[in-house]
């Protein structure tokens, strides 16, 4: 069933550099708060089905190589009559009722696909997981700039879907190397992609907004004492491992010395008893 809520939905807005802006009212034509679960299920099922290739294929007895003559004569052998070694009951024979290729394609009407995508975007907007970015004006690909934007927005470690206004290669190349970030044009997004993501970042021009430029605020840099390089972390780990190894070696050496001392004591006692018994014999 379709769920409806207050049609006035708002979303947080940021600049491409991570500066926070005033919250925006999302357009009512697209974001009316309606979430239709059955339609979204149908669209996602069709999308996943269309990704399947269905290449499983087996050979019947007519496609297996060999078997052009009878394995033995028709009569006189006492065995059942056979016409070919490629029969299904022979080893290496054909397969009966096996898969011979299948298509999993499903067609969904355009209106249902549009409604499903609209419902998915409304679901993210109701969860406050939809963020508007004023303009992705990247002069060149920069993964560092993309990572800083995700950190400023506060979505680091989440599955992020970035929707641009048209094809923007620099933005795509900036987010291509990030594991949980996917960049694509807004016109090509599907219901599956929206539901796959935890947070959706949409460029303002894709929604029909033309936001004014805002001065970027400098972000507070983290103190050097808190930030540690990977080399420093590796060195600390190596020193800790070396310390533990040395302590373990000392412990094993002490245990070995104790064990040697215990084994030497019985030998000394045996020598003393032998000397005493020899003295007694001489006295007699």
Tell me the HSE value of 100 on the side-chain side, using a 13 A CA sphere: 9
Stretch among 113-127, 165-179, 243-257 having the lowest mean pLDDT: 243-257
> Are the CB atoms for 94 and 63 separated by under 8 Å?
yes
pLDDT score for 198: 95
Distance set, CA 147 to CA 18, 45, 75, 170 (Å)? 10, 32, 81, 14
| Residue 252 C-beta-side C-alpha neighbours within 13 Å | 6
pLDDT (0 to 100) of residue 226: 47
Task: Show contacts of 39-42: CB within 8 Å, 24+ apart.
Answer: 39/112, 39/115, 39/116, 39/119, 40/116, 40/119, 40/120, 40/191, 40/195, 42/108, 42/112, 42/116
Which of 93-97, 162-166, 167-171, 217-221 is predicted least confidently?
Answer: 217-221
Mean pLDDT of 125-141: 92
pLDDT of residue 228: 52
Q: Which residue has the tokens 């009512």?
A: 28
pTM of the model: 0.69
What mean pLDDT comes out for the span 131-152?
Answer: 92
Residue 220: its pLDDT value, please? 57
Q: Which of 44-48, 91-95, 117-121, 243-247 has the lowest mean pLDDT?
A: 243-247
Contacts of 41 (CB under 8 A, 6+ apart): none
Note the pLDDT tens digit of each residue in 57-110: 999 999 999 988 999 999 999 999 999 999 999 999 999 999 999 999 999 999
Tell me the average pLDDT across 237-249.
78
Give the per-residue pLDDT at 213: 73
Tell me what the mean pLDDT of segment 186-195 comes to: 95
Per-residue pLDDT at 279: 56
Average pLDDT over residues 117-123: 95
pLDDT computed for residue 124 by the predictor? 95
pLDDT beyond 70 at 47: yes
* Cα-Cα end-to-end distance for the chain: 114
Bridge partners (DSSP) listed for residue 24? 11
Per-residue pLDDT, averaged over 158-164, amounts to 95
| Rounded Cα–Cα distance for residues 26 and 207 (Å) | 8
If we measure between CA atoms, which residue out of 58, 53, 5 comes closest to residue 28? 5
List, for residues 246-270, the tens digit of each pLDDT value. Answer: 777 777 777 777 777 666 555 555 5
**Is the pLDDT reported for residue 3 higher than 80?**
no
Cβ(37)–Cβ(22) under 8 Å? no
Give the pLDDT of residue 224: 47
Tell me the pLDDT of the chain averaged across its residues: 85
* CA dist 108 → 105, 185, 188, 194 (Å): 10, 21, 16, 18
Q: Which two tokens stand for residue 157?
A: 């470690």
253 compared with 143, residue with greater pLDDT: 143
The pLDDT of 274-283, averaged and rounded, is: 56
Helix (H, G, I), strand (E, B) or coil at 19: coil
């Amino acid at each position: 069933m379709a769920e409806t809520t207050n049609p006035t939905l708002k979303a947080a807005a940021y600049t491409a550099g991570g500066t926070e802006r005033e919250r925006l009212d999302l357009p009512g034509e697209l974001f009316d708060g309606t979430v239709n679960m059955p339609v979204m299920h149908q669209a996602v099922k069709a999308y996943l089905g269309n990704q399947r290739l269905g290449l499983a294929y087996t050979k019947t007895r007519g496609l297996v190589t060999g078997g052009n003559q009878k394995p033995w004569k028709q009569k006189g052998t006492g065995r059942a009559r056979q016409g070919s070694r490629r029969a299904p009951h022979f080893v290496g024979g054909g397969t009966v009722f096996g898969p011979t290729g299948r298509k999993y394609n499903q067609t969904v009407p355009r209106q249902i696909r549009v409604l499903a995508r609209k419902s998915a975007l409304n679901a993210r907007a109701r969860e406050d997981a939809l963020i508007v970015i004023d303009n992705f004006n990247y002069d060149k690909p920069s993964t560092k700039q993309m990572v800083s934007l995700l950190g400023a927005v506060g979505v680091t470690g989440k599955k992020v879907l970035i929707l641009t206004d048209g094809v923007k290669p620099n933005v795509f190349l900036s987010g291509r190397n990030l594991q949980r970030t996917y960049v694509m044009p807004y016109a090509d997004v599907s219901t599956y992609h929206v539901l796959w993501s935890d947070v959706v970042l949409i460029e303002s021009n894709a929604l029909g907004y033309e936001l004014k430029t805002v001065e970027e605020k400098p972000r507070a840099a983290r103190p050097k004492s808190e930030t540690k390089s990977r080399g420093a972390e590796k060195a600390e780990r190596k020193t800790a491992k070396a310390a533990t190894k040395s302590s373990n070696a000392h412990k094993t050496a002490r245990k070995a010395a104790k064990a040697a001392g215990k084994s030497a004591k019985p030998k000394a006692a045996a020598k003393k008893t032998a000397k005493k018994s020899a003295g007694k014999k001489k006295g007699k």
